[in-house]
Every structure is written in structure tokens, then in C-alpha cells.
Amino acid sequence: MKAINVGLCGVGTVGGGTATVLQRNANEIARRAGRPIVVKMAANRDLARAKELCGDDVIITDNAMDVVNHPEIDIVVELIGGTTIAKDVVLAAIENGKHVVTANKKLIAEYGNEIFAKAQAKGVMVAFEAAVAGGIPVIKALREGLTANQIEWVAGIINGTSNFILTEMRDKGSAFADVLAEAQRLGYAEADPTFDIEGHDAAHKLTIMSAIAFGIPVQFDKAYLEGISKLEAADIKYAAELGYRIKLLGMTRRRENGIELRVSPTLIPAGRLIANVDGVMNAVLVKGDAVGATMYYGPGAGAEPTASSVIADLVDITRLHTADPEHRVPHLAFQPSAMANLPILPIDEVETCYYLRLSVKDLPGVLADVTTILAEGQISVDAMLQKPAGDSAEIVIVTHTAVEKNVNAAIAKIEALASCNGKIVKLRLEHLNG
């Protein structure tokens, strides 16, 4: 049977891994796909590296558009990254009637609507399993495996750099800056770590999962982002005393009036499986009405784990290469004509539980003032810690479910008390109990 010819655009970490695994497991992949899948052409700035990884039988070029325009290429694999050249390559490939596989979460989160509309019009497929959580097949789970369910919420630890930092802060009691420096030394964090530690990377991935879970357009610009750079070791310690662990959590939830879409440091009960996902590992927890809570765990990055997802997409497209375009699995799980126009809720409308840490003067009646303000804001206290600190005391409060704007209003009132020392630390808390 005629082979499917693949054009690799980008032969970096993931591109090299893809070429290696396709060659090593060629027979097994052909058995699953029904025909061989071969790299016919590759584009990379470093021609010598591309030749070394892809072999002498592969046409090598330094211009990705050569791949896109080659008449014998069936599937273009975009592993360039970013949203400039990569976007041009993907749109040109679609225009030329070629299927596309990409690991580019930023491209899909920010331009997915445009890309999918063009692919639909041209009758080609765009697959992006590797764009979310590396080697974990969570996109396939959401698009296909859980298709019988109404998804209620999706929660994910989906940035390995931040998860490594938080794990080290918890285990060693170290300050954020010290652990970040260690992560950079080990190669887990970039020289400029902003994209990871401030939640951008996780929000790109969460935006994609939210669109698939709820059948809405990708709307990264409406996601709420809060990173871990201001997190203090004291809060990780107090959370542990109360039975919680702090993770950078991506959370998207269906509500009656819209969809929550947020990334922030979040307390999770220590007994939950997802709270015990440590180091650079990733995990996604999905709650469906029929199946309940299911968890997907594994490496969120790396050459061969991510290549595993890229090649799974290649196999899927190969199997469906000749299928009627109207009856393929839709890009965002729902038929394009059935997409919902649900709003993304502003962060003020979020409903969750909260962790509050405040320093107050150690005087009679102070705690009563604080709890009165919370009660007036319809905020119920679930647990409390009090720690002496000289003439002051540190109070840690965990609330039951409350609306964020009510919590913010109560915080402003408490901070205005003469007995309150400085700003209050606020973190969100999710029980994730299904």
C-alpha cells in the first residue's frame, strides 16, 4: 500500500524525537495505521542536524515553505513553535490541501478558530494532541473517549516547570527565587521563565481543553492568569498543616451563566491523586456526568513523549485520509454548526473556596471583627489556624465556596481595619472530589 509522506517543519527536540520514533517503530506504526508513514522531507535551519536525525533518504531544506509546496507531501508536521512563521506554514499547508499535525499550543490557543475554519472549508484535518500535556493523550480522551458525557469541569497540572518549583518549595522549604535558579540550572526553566511561571503556557493548554470540553471557540484572551512568582514558602507550609498542597492549577468549569477559565496557584486536598503529581510531571482531571472523575497522568514534555502524541495524530490522519470530511471527528469535538456561544466568566464571578492569610495585632475582639466581615459577605469559614508572632498574630482562614467578588470586598474591609497589618494573601482552593 502507498506510504503516507510526511513533511517535518522543525527538527528540534520534538522534531528529532518524531523522526527517531517513526524510524525505530516503523513496522509497528504501519501495522496500526494500515500503511507505512515515512518522513519524505524536512525543513530546519541547521541542515546538518536535520540530515543526521532524519537520514540520507529524506530531502532536507532550510525553507519550510518548500515542504508545504512539495506535491508529494500528504501531511505537514509543524514543530517550529510561535505564531509567526508557524502560522504561515499551517495556513499555507491547509490552502494546498494538506493535512496538518502541530504541537504548537500557542498557535492553536490564539489562532485555532481561524485555522479550523480554513481546514473545514478545505476538507483537511488539523491534529494537535501534542499541544497539550506532551505525551498524555488527553485531547483524544476529551474529543472521543468521553464523548458520551457532559463535561462538568477540567482541572490540570499542565506546566512542568512550575510544578517542579512548587514541589521543591514544599519539600525543601526554599524560597521561590532559590528554586527558580535551581530549575534554570537543571534546564527545567528558561533563562526568561515568564511564559511558564506566570501561567501563560498553562493557559494556552487549558484554553484548548476548555474549547473541546464545552464545545466553545478557543478564547485565550479571556483566560484569567495568575502565576507563582509571588507565592511565599509560608503559605505552602500553612497549606500543608491544613491538609492541602499548592499547585499551579488550570481550572475550567461549566456554570449556568458561562464558563470559568483560569490558571492560578490553588490549594488541593493532599489526599487527592492529582495533589501528589510532583516534579515535572503533568496530570489532567476531567469530571463527566456519566463517568465521574477520570485522571490522565504522564510526562508533559520531552522529545519522545511528545513525539508519541505527534505520531498518534499521524496514524489517526492516515486511517481517515480517504474518509468523508463531513464524518471525521471534529477539530473541537463538536460539529462546527453546533458550537455553543457560552461566555467566559470574569474572575470576579468565579465560585470556589479560598485560603486567606492575614497578620493582625494580637488584641481582644480582632478575630470577631474579621469573622463578622466575612459573614456579612456571605463567606462561611471552614477551617482556621492562628500563629503568634510577637505583638501580632498570623491567621489563616479556609472558606467554604464563595463568589470571588464577595471575597475581594471582604478583604478590602478587613485590610481597612486598624488592627490589620498590611495586605492579605488570597489563594483559591479546589476540592476536586468529583
Q: Is 288 left (phi over 0), alpha (psi -120 to 50) or beta?
A: beta
Q: Read off the pTM.
A: 0.92
Which tens digit of pLDDT belongs to each residue from 111-155? 999 999 999 999 999 999 999 998 899 999 999 999 999 999 999
Distance CA 280, CA 240 (A): 20
| Residue 361 among the catalytic residues | no
Cα 416 to Cα 368, 384, 426, distances in angstroms: 15, 21, 16
pLDDT for the residue 322: 65
Q: What is the CATH number of the domain that holds 31?
A: 3.40.50.720
pLDDT for the residue 41: 97
Nearest-CA neighbor of 275 among 248, 305, 235? 248
Q: Which residues span the domain enclosing 91? A: 4-135+303-338
pLDDT for the residue 328: 73
Query: Residues 354, 281: one domain?
Result: no
Q: What is the CATH number of the domain that holds 413?
A: 3.30.70.260
Nearest-CA neighbor of 309 among 318, 322, 300, 320? 300
Tell me how far the alpha carbon of residue 29 is from its chain's centroid: 28
Query: Residues 177, 312: one domain?
Result: no
Which tens digit of pLDDT belongs to each residue from 148-181? 999 999 999 999 999 999 999 999 999 999 999 9
Residue 434 lies in a domain: no
Query: Residues 281, 172: one domain?
Result: yes
**pLDDT at 257 exceeding the cut of 90:** yes
Which tens digit of pLDDT belongs to each residue from 370-423? 999 999 999 999 999 999 888 899 999 999 999 999 999 999 999 999 999 999
Query: Residues 146, 288: one domain?
Result: yes
Residue of 106, 205, 247, 287 with catalytic role: 205
